């Protein structure tokens, strides 16, 4: 079974072991310098992409233009979200809003601003808007958030391997202009003037004047900045066409329509058909482009840990990374994220929470079938009250507002180390009296111990503390 762990700020590396009493795992050491479930017919879909006999549909352009116009209208009616939508209803450019009260946070709308409701900030692109102005923002394509995935049809399935800058207008901005090197300063008295433009991916900043920023920069390819080695590019994450959607139908030379449906073969048995029907269709898949320089990190955060620290960290990670590589564990747990990114090369995992959160992520990794190979290294950002595991691995007893940027820069280069994990096999004692059998349990709640364990009074005290909090 997969087991693992490591040393100070180390990212776990799992190994597949036999059912032994003690397994040695690999984990992350101190930071150093710097699915298988598939959507119906995805294989058939890919085959059709490469078919040289495909012919363009005359109506495709018209339909796509109609879809683009209707998408803008539907965006205005969408509910406010703080995490990405992984369903077939997901739309490109959706913001992830959180309340803000910082001075100088001015609404991105000028004359159209209705100045009603709490001010909200997008965690991903840092755009500001009043709560009641958000529907207006959603209608404007020029105010869309940075793209987090590819929404493609049949012919574009293997395209779009690069990421372009996503420029955001700023009325106030910190830092220096990349072109002239001078500091960017906001206007006084709440001026509506745009003083700078910054990229939501690489975070480069330019003055809003011709000598510093010109039209040629709009179409430039983005390097993704300092965090490029660990960022999951939007070109990796593909939203599949929904069944029955225009994009899931193509035309071949003989002018007969071919619709992509479930991958069931004509000769498949009834049992196989039933099994296929039980598979839950997935709206997204990850199609990574392997590179030795890329070490993607997916982040799992328990927002309930650390006295609201998890909520703050969620927004910070969404700002610095692709929001779709950051997962809120209260929204379905870690399984979906691990299944989705299981084919990503050099994958690493950052678990943000207490011992329970880390154990949860490890247990799901153990249960994946088939397992991820090679197993990803797992690092810990300790939050909450119970951080014994993080302390034992050298990550410290808690998060002390260390800059997230520093954590991200170093986690990709962390050294992997071994960690012991123990599996307990509990069997009933046949010699016990019958009176005690009625009070016994068929199995223990958890049968895996990470790194260390104890019997006796110290274990009793730890259990009482756990049950009391």
Q: Residue 159 has what pLDDT?
A: 58
What residues does 286 pair with on adjacent strands?
237
As a whole number of angstroms, the distance between CA 399 and CA 141 comes to 38
Q: Residue 255 has what pLDDT?
A: 43
> CB within 8 A of 30, min separation 6: which ones?
7, 8, 9, 10, 394, 414, 415
CA dist 3 to 77, 296, 338, Å?
Answer: 46, 21, 16
> CB within 8 A of 378, min separation 6: which ones?
4, 5, 11, 12, 13, 14, 27, 28, 348, 349, 350, 351, 358, 361, 362, 365
As a whole number of angstroms, the distance between CA 342 and CA 365 comes to 10
As a whole number of angstroms, the distance between CA 311 and CA 411 comes to 20
pTM for the whole thing? 0.74
Does the bond joining 317 to the residue before it have cis omega, within 30 degrees of 0?
Answer: no
Asked: is 2-37+283-423 a CATH 3.40.50 domain? The reply is yes
Q: Residue 351 has what pLDDT?
A: 95
As a whole number of angstroms, the distance between CA 371 and CA 360 comes to 16
In a structure prediction context, what are the per-residue pLDDT tens digits for the chain, which is 469 residues long? 444 444 444 444 433 333 333 343 445 544 433 333 333 333 343 343 344 343 344 333 343 443 444 455 455 567 889 999 999 999 999 999 999 987 767 899 988 999 889 999 999 999 999 999 999 999 998 999 999 999 876 455 455 678 999 999 998 888 899 999 999 976 655 567 899 999 999 999 999 999 999 988 988 999 999 999 999 999 999 998 876 554 444 443 444 343 333 444 444 454 554 444 445 568 999 999 888 889 999 999 998 887 778 999 999 999 999 999 999 999 999 999 999 999 999 999 999 998 889 989 999 998 999 999 998 999 999 987 778 888 877 778 888 888 998 888 878 777 888 778 888 888 777 777 766 666 666 666 667 887 666 778 988 887 887 788 6
Give the angle 53-57-58 at the CA atoms, nearest 5°.
Answer: 135
Q: Which among 299, 164, 169 has a CA at the least distance from the CA of 235?
A: 164
Q: Residue 347 has what pLDDT?
A: 94
The domains of the chain are located at: 2-37+283-423
As a whole number of angstroms, the distance between CA 149 and CA 91 comes to 9
Q: Which among 154, 319, 307, 315 has a CA at the least distance from the CA of 231?
A: 319
What DSSP element (H or E) covers 353?
Answer: strand 348-353
Does the bond joining 231 to the residue before it have cis omega, within 30 degrees of 0?
Answer: no
DSSP 117: S
Q: Which among 313, 469, 326 has a CA at the least distance from the CA of 400?
A: 313
As a whole number of angstroms, the distance between CA 152 and CA 159 comes to 9
């Amino acid at each position: 079974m997969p087991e693992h762990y490591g040393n100070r700020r180390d990212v776990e590396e799992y190994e597949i072991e036999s059912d032994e009493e003690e397994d040695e795992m690999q984990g992350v050491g101190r930071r150093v310098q710097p699915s298988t479930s598939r959507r119906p017919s995805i294989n058939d879909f890919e085959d059709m992409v490469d078919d040289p006999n495909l012919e363009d549909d005359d109506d495709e352009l018209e339909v796509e233009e109609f879809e683009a116009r209707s998408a803008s209208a539907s965006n205005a009616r969408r509910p406010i979200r703080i995490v990405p939508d992984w369903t077939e209803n997901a739309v490109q450019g959706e913001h992830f809003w959180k309340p803000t009260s910082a001075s100088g946070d001015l609404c991105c709308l000028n004359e159209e601003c209705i100045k009603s409701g709490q001010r909200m900030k997008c965690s991903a692109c840092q755009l500001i808007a009043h709560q009641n102005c958000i529907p207006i923002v959603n209608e404007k394509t020029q105010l869309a958030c940075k793209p987090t995935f590819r929404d493609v049809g049949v012919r574009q399935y293997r395209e779009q391997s690069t990421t372009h800058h996503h420029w955001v207008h700023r009325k106030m901005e910190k830092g220096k202009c990349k072109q002239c090197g001078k500091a960017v300063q906001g206007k006084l008295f709440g001026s509506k003037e745009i003083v700078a433009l910054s990229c939501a991916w690489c975070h480069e900043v330019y003055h809003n004047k011709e000598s510093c920023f010109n039209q040629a920069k709009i179409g430039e390819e983005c390097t993704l900045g300092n965090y490029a080695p660990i960022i999951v590019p939007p070109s990796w994450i593909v939203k599949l066409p929904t069944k029955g959607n225009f994009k899931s139908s193509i035309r071949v030379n003989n002018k007969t329509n071919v619709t992509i449906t479930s991958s069931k073969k004509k000769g498949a048995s009834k049992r196989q058909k039933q099994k296929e029907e039980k598979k839950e269709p997935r709206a997204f898949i990850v199609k990574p482009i392997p590179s030795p320089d890329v070490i993607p990190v997916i982040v799992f955060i328990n927002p309930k840990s650390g006295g609201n620290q998890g909520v703050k960290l969620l927004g910070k990670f969404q700002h610095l990374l692709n929001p779709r590589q950051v997962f809120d564990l209260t929204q379905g747990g870690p399984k979906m994220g691990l299944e989705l990114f299981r084919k990503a090369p050099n994958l690493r995992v950052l678990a943000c929470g207490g011992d329970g959160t880390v154990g949860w992520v490890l247990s799901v990794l153990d249960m994946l079938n088939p397992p991820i190979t090679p197993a990803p290294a797992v690092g810990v950002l300790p939050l909450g009250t119970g951080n014994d595991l993080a302390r034992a691995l050298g990550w410290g007893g808690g998060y002390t507002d260390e800059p997230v940027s520093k954590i991200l820069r170093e986690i990709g280069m962390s050294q992997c180390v071994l960690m012991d994990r123990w599996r307990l096999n509990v069997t009933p004692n046949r010699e016990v009296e019958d009176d005690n059998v009625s009070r016994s349990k068929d199995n223990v709640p958890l049968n895996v111990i990470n790194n260390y364990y104890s019997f006796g009074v110290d274990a009793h005290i730890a259990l009482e503390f756990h049950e009391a909090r």
